[in-house]
Structure 1
Amino acid sequence: MKIIAVGMNYAAHNKELHHTLELTEPTIFMKSDSSLLKDGKPFFIPDFSSEIHYETELVVKIDRLGKNIAERFAHRYYSEVTVGIDFTARDLQRRLREQGLPWEISKAFDNSAAIGTFIPLEEAGNINQLSFHLDINGKTVQQGNTADMLFPVDKIIAYVSRFFTLKIGDLIYTGTPVGVGPVSIGDHLEGYLGERKLLDFHVR
């Protein structure tokens, strides 16, 4: 199982983090299989960072083997979606970027990919018009809609499949909208797709 993630896929978020790149194709990075945090288990803040940020995202699960998938056929390769959190050690990422070094360790550390309960796409709605949001301690802190993606899901799948064979069970984190921020010990995170809560866990 691979966890494939898309960076800088919402213009307002890019501005939020002061990214000025004019993107012509998706920005891809990977998370390790040990990054997955599921079943409502708590997220423990690691000792190597003092600035862990949440990034709420729509997550797509691949359910068919594919390579070099044409964009017009990409919709055939997934049928379930959920919301997830791409946890980022922002202080570590910032330092590595400033040094021009790879920053995988700030993104792919253990339990950095929280995942909610998957639901059939037919229940969720149009993949290109899905709203989602994150509540922390009962207050909405981040919300987005897939309509605002720079690169929609089918384009992401077509692009990624040029480089990696997609396998059943692979997860694609599709990018985060504006509104990222830090988490603290004791926080209660709840992720919603529309008004349906699919993610619920605590920070320890």
Structure 2
Amino acid sequence: MTNIQNIYCVGRNYVLHAKELNNKVPTSPFLFSKPSHALVEAAGQEVLLPGDRGSVHYEVELVVRIGKSYKKGMTVDELVDQMAIGIDFTLRDVQTELKKKAYPWLLAKGFPNSALLSRFVDFPGEEECKKGNFALVKNGEQVQLGNIKNLIFDLQTIIDFTSVHFGLGEGDIIFTGTPEGVGEIKNGDELSLLWKEEVLGQCSIKLG
């Protein structure tokens, strides 16, 4: 996981996920970012998450890596060189309080190890990518299943929007949104991140 630069995340990009959290379905891409200290690879180890700030939720996502600097008019297949499966960990109770105050989400989204990533694999192209599902398995049970064909805002829209508003260059990664099925993580949970039938990353969780 070398040469990763900015970490961008798309919120509420699957209709059923927006509805399960009683959020309005957005009419334009909704983005936030995470600091570099949030990044951790799911390489079979124990991953430490905060256990003293309320409920911690998992949100599995397909993550794309930008392979070159963006220029207007470039397509997804020209820009994206690799992909991974990631989890956007969220301090849900903290986020709820931040929402009430109309504060930014950083305290709920940017803590250490909150951006979990599998190993990267070559990006097969957007259309080919739509033929495969990504999934999160927790303690041997599949808890989330997604496919980017169901995104509210497709990869091209996300990439164009991100570049215009924040800039986009080589090494930047984008968490593209989570499908329905998010839930609370518990101490000792064993997680597997899957692309199609292949396990790309695994870890166990320690709440401390």
Amino acid at match of 2:29: P
1:110 aligned residue (109, 112, 115) = 112
2:203 pairs with 1:190? no
Residues 86-109 of structure 1: per-residue CA shift (max 9 Å, x gap):
000000000111122112110011
Aligned residue for 2:186, secondary structure, equals coil
What is the CA–CA distance in structure 1 between the aligned matches of 2:28 and 2:128, rounded to whole Å? 23
What is the CA–CA distance in structure 2 between the aligned matches of 1:98 and 1:201, rounded to whole Å? 33
Q: TM-score, normalised by structure 1?
A: 0.93
Q: Residue 38 of structure 1 corresponds to which residue in structure 2?
A: 41
Q: Residue 84 of structure 1 corresponds to which residue in structure 2?
A: 86
After TM superposition, list the pairs within 5 Å mapping 1:1-204 onto structure 2.
1-21=5-25, 23-40=26-43, 41-67=45-71, 69-70=72-73, 73-122=75-124, 126-204=128-206
What is the CA–CA distance in structure 2 between the aligned matches of 1:102 and 1:79, rounded to whole Å? 31
Aligned residue for 1:122, secondary structure, equals coil
For structure 1, which runs of at least 5 residues remain unmatched after alignment?
Answer: none
Shift of 1:201: 0.5
Say which is worse superposed, 41-50 or 74-83, in terms of deviation. Answer: 41-50
What is the CA–CA distance in structure 1 between the aligned matches of 2:126 and 2:148, rounded to whole Å? 12
Residues 52-93 of structure 1: per-residue CA shift (max 9 Å, x gap):
0000000001110125x33x6232111211100000000000
Aligned 8 A contact 2:77 2:125 in 1: no
Say which is worse superposed, 115-124 or 30-39, in terms of deviation. Answer: 115-124
Amino acid at match of 1:185: N
Aligned 8 A contact 1:81 1:124 in 2: no
What is the CA–CA distance in structure 2 between the aligned matches of 1:187 and 1:47, rounded to whole Å? 13
What is the CA–CA distance in structure 2 between the aligned matches of 1:115 and 1:86, rounded to whole Å? 9
Aligned residue for 1:200, secondary structure, equals strand
Shift of 1:42: 2.4
What is the CA–CA distance in structure 2 between the aligned matches of 1:83 and 1:199, rounded to whole Å? 8
What is the CA–CA distance in structure 2 between the aligned matches of 1:127 and 1:25, rounded to whole Å? 23
Report sequence identity in percent. Answer: 35
What is the CA–CA distance in structure 1 between the aligned matches of 2:22 and 2:53, rounded to whole Å? 21
Aligned 8 A contact 1:127 1:153 in 2: no
C-alpha change, 1:66 and 1:188, in structure 2 (3 Å) is: same
C-alpha change, 1:138 and 1:2, in structure 2 (3 Å) is: same
| Alignment RMSD | 1.7
Q: TM-score, normalised by structure 2?
A: 0.91
